Structure 1
Amino acid sequence: MTTARPLRQDAARNRERLVLAAREVFRRKGLHAPLEDIAREAGVAIGTLYNRFPSRSELVDAALGPLAERAVELAEAAAGADDPWAGFAMYVEDTCALFAAERGYADVYRATVPDTPVISAAKDRLTALKLSILDRAKRSGALRADVESTDIAILTWAAVSTMDATRAVAPQMWRRHLALLLDGLRAEAAHPLPAPPLTPAQLREAG
């Protein structure tokens, strides 16, 4: 009986170490980083990792779910901005800034990870918020009328590509790239687009 309480405390500490280690390793190496690297970062045996998190999905949800929920908070703030264009730009910029800081979350945003209820719920909420932000900016006349939500997803993917290509030499270059892209989305800059937007199904396949 004297060992029961310390064991529970040890298990909780190991779980917390693994969650923090997973977030850090995913940040550096992406979502598909070896689990052995995470165990090593946490200072525990790989068996301990599997005892606490029997599947990669459970670990991903525990480590990156809070980041997905943070993304929802940022989008809610953008949706409540007084100026519709400012709210739209805020949403895109804040999303990309989170991607720049957290490579693992950028991977989660682009992929469908099964059995991640926290992330899935956050992504569903983000989808609704993004549509509301887009609709509001269009109705204000500031955002070009032919932009669809899939276009914004592709735009943020492009920013991620810029981050990956320039992180070592100019880590803020993505902000310049994004500013150019945002200027192209203003209604007064609009020209007819040469191809239709992706459908949501096409976007999932592309990701």
Structure 2
Amino acid sequence: MTEAVTPGPRADMVRNRRLLLEAATAAFAEHGVDVPIGEIAQRAGLAKGTVFRHFASKEDLLAAITLRMLDQLLDTADRLVTADDADAALEEFMADGVEVLAADRAFCEVIGRPSLQHVEVRDAIDRLCDAAEALTARARESGAVRADVTGTDIVLLLGGIQQTAAPVLGADPQAWRRFLQLALDGLRVVGGRELPHPLPGRLDLDPAGPA
């Protein structure tokens, strides 16, 4: 008879962190970032103190979840950057991105919070802008989108489309697709007026704003 192996402390820590991230992701997606830590611990089936053994603050927990979502978007961009059809690749990236945001109330609420000051989160946002620029550059070169559109435009539009659709998503979770199509048609305008103001090279989401 094979003797059962009892998980060690390290395995318990890995399991607890996974349970906490899954519980927090679901809770924040459903109710936004104001969900109490105690409710997250209860969802995970763990003591409240266990949360703070893994994450020193709620901001640290939000940062970890934000990183998971940004990594998901980066994986999508990496998959599409070599696609044969540059226009379809950019459209798919935007559709996947807005769909992720539309299903998660917390992500757009996090924008501008101190959690974004985490080095890893800021680095992931920079990498997402670079990945979006690579997709956008291919679409520009193929003539699929207007020549003055940048990757930063695309990243900001993902959140903008989600925010536009937010008031009706409860009644119709797919309503974002209407506003995505409006945005895509605007990106593809040929002979439209030149955009009146340039964007900075890097996305600055400092909640304090300019000094």
TM-score, length-scaled by structure 2:
0.79
* Mean CA deviation greater in 16-25 or 47-56: 47-56
- Of residues 155, 158, 161, the one that matches 2:157 is 155
Shift in CA distance, 66/24, structure 1 to aligned 2, threshold 3 Å: same
Distance in 2, matches of 1:53 and 1:194, equals 43
Unaligned runs of 5+ in 2: 1-5
- Of residues 161, 181, 184, the one that matches 1:182 is 184
Shift in CA distance, 9/89, structure 1 to aligned 2, threshold 3 Å: closer
Letter in 1 for 2:186: G
Specify the alignment match of 1:53 in structure 2. 55
Shift in CA distance, 181/47, structure 1 to aligned 2, threshold 3 Å: same
Letter in 1 for 2:116: V
**Contact 1:148–1:197 under 8 Å retained in 2:** no
Letter in 2 for 1:198: L
Specify the alignment match of 1:37 in structure 2. 39
Shift in CA distance, 101/9, structure 1 to aligned 2, threshold 3 Å: same
Q: CA deviation at 1:32?
A: 4.8
- Of residues 20, 23, 33, the one that matches 2:22 is 20
Cα RMSD for the two superposed structures? 2.9
Specify the alignment match of 2:3 in structure 1. none
Q: In the alignment, does 2:196 pair up with 1:195?
A: yes
Distance in 1, matches of 2:14 and 2:150, equals 44
- Of residues 89, 95, 99, the one that matches 1:93 is 95
What is the aligned residue count?
202
| CA deviations over 1:164-203 (Å, ceiling 9, x no partner) | 2111111111101110110111142x41146313335685
Specify the alignment match of 1:63 in structure 2. 65
Task: Write out the 4+ residue segments of structure 1 that deviate beyond 6 Å after TM superposition.
Answer: none
Q: CA deviation at 1:88?
A: 1.5
* Mean CA deviation greater in 18-27 or 191-200: 191-200
Q: CA deviation at 1:137?
A: 1.0
> Superposed, which structure 2 residues align to 1:112-151 within 5 Å?
113-115=116-118, 117=120, 119-151=121-153
Distance in 1, matches of 2:199 and 2:103, equals 27
**Contact 1:142–1:187 under 8 Å retained in 2:** no
**Contact 2:137–2:150 under 8 Å retained in 1:** no
Shift in CA distance, 136/10, structure 1 to aligned 2, threshold 3 Å: closer
Distance in 2, matches of 1:51 and 1:130, equals 36
Identity in percent: 32
**Contact 2:131–2:151 under 8 Å retained in 1:** no
Shift in CA distance, 137/9, structure 1 to aligned 2, threshold 3 Å: closer
Distance in 2, matches of 1:6 and 1:123, equals 36
Distance in 2, matches of 1:204 and 1:52, equals 26
Letter in 1 for 2:30: R
